[in-house]
Structure 1
């Protein structure tokens, strides 16, 4: 049997340990011990905190891991991400490798399949995209609230400054003096209120007024139909007046007034018969005398008809009767 020296045993154990350490380190980094993966690349402008060994998922299923991240230029404007994906997964060429995160902030690469009929081979490059982080979404939602809160705080600050100005030493003294002066006024007001209550209790005029008001309101309600009829008639009269009947009536009245004025003018002048009768005293006297004589003639005819009609068959002369004095007037 081959006998190994202590130095050989130490060397073998050291080599085995180094091998296991390298394999374990690669395993922790997401590198498979067997070559059953294909390597796919994606180029990002920023990786949003992506680290090696983060998972690669398709439709929520873990199909690989992030193998490495390399900076492609001095400004770190382009970052090459190496992905190891299961060879059994066929990825269309127009698919997108999107960096996203869960609620806990763990980063992952989500592969969104395209509709191309050609598939990626090992060494090909995927289209890259980055979702905003949850903190970015939260900040986007909170930004309007923060702006409003800042405006509110500025207003509150202004109010507090005004309040501090109101509660200065001088204003506090003035307020104390005002409160002290207000106490006698409140006592006087209380006395006035009590006196008013006593007067109201002694005198029932307000109750009577309210009763009368209720009665008046009841009468209005009971005569509502009559009031409506009166208003309707008033509307009809207003409509009739508005239609022009008032104008024609006024015009006719003005014509009648003018005719009456003409008649009065003719009576006041001596041109017409009526004017002569009214204004000529001599004519009036003659007419009056004529009427008196005519009256005498009628009375004489009534008492002495034989004087005017002779009916005697024998030629006898009739006696003439005197006219009564009352009839001759």
Structure 2
């Protein structure tokens, strides 16, 4: 069996370690040693914090990564960015590599594919563009507002200077007096609001009124069925009156009233028997006299019945007795 010296073992371990270190470093940088990749370049004047291993995307899909960033002149006016494409995609020659950032500030290179029929090969250069950062966008939006605000503040300053010049000592005194009156009004308003709070309190008058109103509405709600029944009965009654022969009945009542008026008119005159009985005094006297004679006849019949009915087995006649009075009046 072949024996290895310690120096050989150390050498082999060193080579394996260096190999693993290179592989690990490349993997951390996003490079793959076992995949076929395509390398393209882009030249920028600024990269907005782009770093190696940042993603390269096409329509949101990660197709590669940033391999390296190199300075092309002493002033760093031109920066060469190396892009490694790991996906098998064709990139048109008129495509644009655009540096963009999300809300968290992460930088990516977005490949906006063009419509050319020619495609980039490994080692070719793609057009470069840089999106403005969110800070730049905010600055662009805020700059007009800042300018307007500055102009407004200058106008306010001018107005205050003019007002200060117009207000002499007398006007300032009046202004202080007006402010004092405003303080009194504010105090009165505070008292008024306190009074309103007292009225609107749980035990206040308004609360009691609302409670009473609630009780009334509750009673109305509880009596809703009764009210509905009353309204139904009223509707039925009015319907019956509307559907019935009310016009004919009213006409008959009017005719009866007319006949009654005519009868009463005749009774008030001496035309006819009833009228003469009611209005002729002589008829009343004769009737009274007849009644008096009839009373006498009935009294005589009671006292002397045998004068009018004679019945005797022996033929003896009773004496005729006079009636107690000839002036008996009708009772």
> TM bucket by the smaller chain?
0.3 to 0.5
TM-score scaled by length of structure 1 = 0.46
TM-score scaled by length of structure 2 = 0.46
